[in-house]
Amino acid sequence: MLIFCNINILSLFTGLVSLLVFMLALGAQALTPSHHLSPSDVDRLQAILSQPFTDLKSAYFSIVGLSKLGLSVADANGACSFIKANVDSSSVESLFYAAEASQALASCEIHVSNETRDLLHAAVSEDSTVSQIHQAVSALSSFSLPLASQEVVSALKARISKEDNVLAITLALQTASRLSQQAELGEILEEIEDLAARLDDLGGVYLQFEEGLEATALFVSAAYALSDHVDVEPPLKEDQVIQLVNSIFSKKSWDSLSEIFSVASAAAAFSNNRFHKPVIVSALGPATVSHSQPLLQLQVTDVLCQPLSSADVVVESASSVASKAAILSKTPFTLRDGIFELNFMASKPASGYYQFSVAVKGDSRLVANHVELKVKVSTKVAINNMDLSVVDKDQSIGTKTTRVEYPSKAKASFVADSHQNFAMTFQLVDETTGVELTPHQTFVRLHNQKTGQEVVFVAEPDSKNLYKFELDTAERKTEFDSMSGTYALYLMVGDATLENPVLWNVADLVLKFLEEEAPSTIQSKNLYVPKPEIQHEILFSGVLEINPPLPLFSVQWFKLGANISNFSLSPSSLLFHIGHAAMLGLMYVYWTHLDMFQTLKYLAIIGSLTFLAGNRMLAQKAVKSPLSAHHYAPKVLG
Amino acid sequence: MSDSVFSVLTRFVEEYRNRTSSKLKVIDAYLLYILLTGAFQFLYCLLVGTFPFNSFLSGFISSVGSFILAVCLRIQINPQNKGEFLSVSPERAFADFLFAHTVLHLVVVNFIG
């Protein structure tokens, strides 16, 4: 028995280990972006960023945001004048917006006085917040003013230890990317890894800060800005990069201009940094090819929907889902007008589904550049050799087969009575290649136009892919309710891979059933009639019947001499007993008629009466009782 | 060994018959009745099935609850325990018993459906 237990434990253990290995193997399959910006989303981003400015802050977001998307503001001169008119030289924040925005414009110089410069320098200290340091440093850098990088670094380090939140550290990263490369940025660089560890993994699909989309997007742009500046690859794995892409680009309608700015910055960072370039591969339209549309077209873009024209897109392998036979291997796509195309029909695939494994090569930065794609090959079906015949059951009379060509209808109708079978055979082939097909839906529908009856049968193929349908009139009479008459016979053929589903009225079939069995009128079967209510049987009678202990109990009590003789007939005693009986009766009425609230109401009334009466009664009993002296003797203190 | 068990049992039954007051014996008979009723309900549920389950539960809980309340009453009115229940007279114990039963029956009838 011990050995048996051991074997069980061992098998359980190996089962668990293999499950773990299996799951790891599945996990090794690379993640691809499930959420990304579409061209219309990018247009919408651009449209919102191009709206007229309301204040200097919104001007900053719009101008700098558009420049990150590689676009420029419509009216650069007007924007420059707006900045100059609205800048407040006594506020570091205002100077920051003005400096960054004017730098993004082609030629917009803002005059900086000495006081302004001193103000900005003074803001760089351990006593300012990280946000203020970031704004001051960015403004100094954009105004091309000299700045002491090492001082900034020490100020930032001091502030990071005091302000340990995501946004502050992100701003510190952003600030560090504006400093001289000779400064000691190593410690600040390490913050990227610490911050990345704080990201929440949601279901293996999303990676984001709990502070939200904006914080995540700003982190991405800051991390890549600093990494590019010091030329050190950020410690983000490929899967993490894709999860960040999913998080940032899953929201398609944004709440505020600052959120839109952060998304645009992140998109720019993902498209243009030195280390990681996420690739988005999607089919143009449905991934379907057919003889009329033989080209498989793919869009291969970066996150800003710009096509990667320099990339090589190759089909690593393409195999049929059904037969697992490989059709293609290492076949390249050709680039035409920004779309990558492949003529799949040239390989003469049979209709069905194919699993494509596509690789995008040409840049070592590419992330998520292996994509799995399911491609459907559609075809048109042709119906050959449609032969209809009426066969006598005892086969004494030779069969007469009628051939019908699609899409015409048989001229004469067929007659079958209960001694005969009706048979139909046909073949379904691919119109172009002539290969036999077995579509998902091959039905034979018989429709009685007079009564509206409809009976549908399934036609099955045999081993040689020849479809046969046989109707035994006598055997199937229940399906038809034995209703004789003319039935129109239709053939229905359909499948996901067929471009031309078929509904073909092949012939008319006159069925003759035995007259006695036919019902006078056909009742339409109404399945949706309310069913009769289920009455709950009250099992009350059971209680009285199945109460075996009760007689035993009564006998015992009688033997013990229950004290019935000692009932006093004082009013309180009577009232008590009546009240108690009333309460028990109320319980019964509650069960049958009342609800809880009404019961409680009555119970309160009867209960209080019973209580008062009972109290009086028991008190009287206590007084009369010979033991009362013991009960009510006052407690002796001390 | 079975000898001594048997002799202990006979001794116990004899002592019970002689020493226990009739009041307590009445309650004991009632306890036995409740116990058997509860057992029968459970047996019925095992044999016939649990539909409707709420009715079975409420009936069974009613038996169990009544048993417990009767045991409490017995403890409280037993003169041998008077030392522990100085403030509770037998009449008070009986009144408590009735009140607790009212609440129990209210709940049981609500649940029995």
In a domain, B34, yes or no: yes
Task: Please report which residue ranges of A386-511 form alpha helices under DSSP H.
Answer: none
Distance CA B25, CA A561 (A): 10
Q: Are A411 and A507 in contact (CB under 8 A)?
A: no
In a domain, B11, yes or no: no
Task: Please report which residue ranges of A90-129 form alpha helices under DSSP H.
Answer: 92-104, 114-123
Assessment of whether the complete model's pTM goes beyond 0.80: no
Full DSSP string of A480-502: TTT--EEEEEEEEEE-TTBSS-E
Does A608 touch chain B if contact means CB atoms closer than 8 Å? no
Q: Are A187 and A226 in contact (CB under 8 A)?
A: no
Name the pairing type of β-strands A366-367 and A277-278.
Answer: parallel
Q: Measured between beta carbons, which residues in chain A are less than 8 angstroms from residue B45?
A: none
B89/A622 CB distance under 8 A: yes
Q: Which residues pair with A490 in a beta bridge?
A: A445, A505
Q: Measured between beta carbons, which residues in chain A are less than 8 angstroms from residue B40?
A: 546-549
Could you give the 3-state DSSP secondary structure of residue A310? Answer: coil
Q: Measured between beta carbons, which residues in chain A are less than 8 angstroms from residue B92?
A: 618
Does B103 touch chain A if contact means CB atoms closer than 8 Å? no
Q: Measured between beta carbons, which residues in chain B are less than 8 angstroms from residue A557?
A: 26, 29-30
pLDDT for A535 equals: 44
CA distance A23 to chain B (A): 43
pLDDT for A489 equals: 92
pLDDT for A610 equals: 87
B22/A561 CB distance under 8 A: yes
Query: Can you tell me the mean pLDDT for B31-38?
Result: 91
Task: Count contacts between A and B (CB, < 8 Å).
Answer: 67
For residues A393-425, b (16+ Cβ closer than 10 Å) or e, as one string? eeeeeeeeeeebeeeeebeeebebebebbbbbb
Task: Report the residue from B37, B90, B105 with minimal CB separation from A587.
Answer: B105
Tokens of A90: 């006594």
Q: Is the dihedral of CA A184, A188, A192, A193 positive or negative?
A: positive
In A530-597, DSSP assigns E strands to none
Quote helix, strand, coil % in chain B, to nearest 5. Answer: 90, 0, 10
Does A546 touch chain B if contact means CB atoms closer than 8 Å? yes
In a domain, B10, yes or no: no
For chain A, 638 residues long, the average pLDDT of each consecutive 10-residue run is: 57 59 52 88 91 92 93 88 90 93 88 90 90 93 90 91 91 92 88 92 92 94 94 92 93 92 95 92 89 90 89 90 88 90 88 91 88 92 90 74 87 85 90 87 90 89 89 83 87 91 91 68 61 50 57 71 60 84 88 84 89 82 61 48
pLDDT for A534 equals: 47
Question: Is omega for the bond preceding A407 within 30 degrees of 0, making it cis?
Answer: yes
pLDDT for A450 equals: 86
User: What angle do the packed helices A186-197 and A149-162 form, to 10 degrees?
Assistant: 30
CA distance B1 to chain A (A): 32
| Residues ≥6 apart with Cβ < 8 Å to A537 | none
Q: Measured between beta carbons, which residues in chain B are less than 8 angstroms from residue A536?
A: 52
H helix or E strand, kind and range, residue A265: helix A257-272
pLDDT for A546 equals: 53
pLDDT for A633 equals: 47
How many domains does chain B fold into? 1
Q: Measured between beta carbons, which residues in chain A are less than 8 angstroms from residue B90?
A: 631
pLDDT for A17 equals: 60
pLDDT for B88 equals: 79
User: Within 10 Å of residue A34's Cβ, how many Cβ atoms?
Assistant: 13
Does A250 touch chain B if contact means CB atoms closer than 8 Å? no
Q: Are A368 and A389 in contact (CB under 8 A)?
A: no
Distance CA A198, CA A396 (A): 86
B106/A539 CB distance under 8 A: no
Tokens of A1: 């028995």
Residue type, A404: V
Provide the residue range defining the domain that includes B57: 21-112
Does B54 touch chain A if contact means CB atoms closer than 8 Å? no
Q: Are A479 and A471 in contact (CB under 8 A)?
A: no
Does A50 touch chain B if contact means CB atoms closer than 8 Å? no
Q: How far is CA B4 from CA B10, B11, B14, B16, B95, in A?
A: 10, 10, 15, 18, 42
Distance CA A38, CA A280 (A): 10
A619/B91 CB distance under 8 A: yes
Does B43 touch chain A if contact means CB atoms closer than 8 Å? no
Count Cα neighbours of A173 within 13 Å in the Cβ-side half-sphere: 28
A552/B36 CB distance under 8 A: yes
Does B49 touch chain A if contact means CB atoms closer than 8 Å? no
Q: Are A421 and A515 in contact (CB under 8 A)?
A: no
In a domain, B9, yes or no: no
Interface test with chain B among A540, A566, A587, by most B beta carbons within 10 Å? A587
pLDDT for A524 equals: 58
Distance CA A233, CA A238 (A): 12
Tokens of A471: 């109707």
pLDDT for B10 equals: 92
Q: Which residues pair with A208 in a beta bridge?
A: A200
H helix or E strand, kind and range, residue B83: none
pLDDT-derived band at B50 (thresholds 50, 70, 90) equals confident
In A562-608, DSSP assigns E strands to none
Distance CA A297, CA A318 (A): 15
Q: Are A103 and A64 in contact (CB under 8 A)?
A: no
CA distance B70 to chain A (A): 15
Nearest CA in chain B to A553: B33
Task: Report the residue from A549, A600, A615 with minimal CB separation from B33.
Answer: A549
Which residue is it, tokens 């001051």?
A136
CA distance B33 to chain A (A): 6
In a domain, B26, yes or no: yes
Which residue is it, tokens 């000898």?
B3
Q: Is the dihedral of CA A50, A52, A55, A56 positive or negative?
A: positive
In a domain, B43, yes or no: yes
Does B98 touch chain A if contact means CB atoms closer than 8 Å? yes
pLDDT for A544 equals: 47
Task: Report the residue from A553, A561, A618 with minimal CB separation from B91.
Answer: A618
Q: Is the dihedral of CA A537, A538, A540, A543 positive or negative?
A: positive
Residue type, A605: I
Distance CA B66, CA B51 (A): 23
B102/A556 CB distance under 8 A: no
pLDDT for A541 equals: 46
pLDDT for A433 equals: 83
In a domain, B103, yes or no: yes
State the distance between the two ends of chain A, measured CA to CA, in whole angstroms.
70
Distance CA A99, CA A107 (A): 12
pLDDT for A26 equals: 46
Count Cα neighbours of B94 within 13 Å in the Cβ-side half-sphere: 17
Q: Are A217 and A245 in contact (CB under 8 A)?
A: no
In a domain, B8, yes or no: no
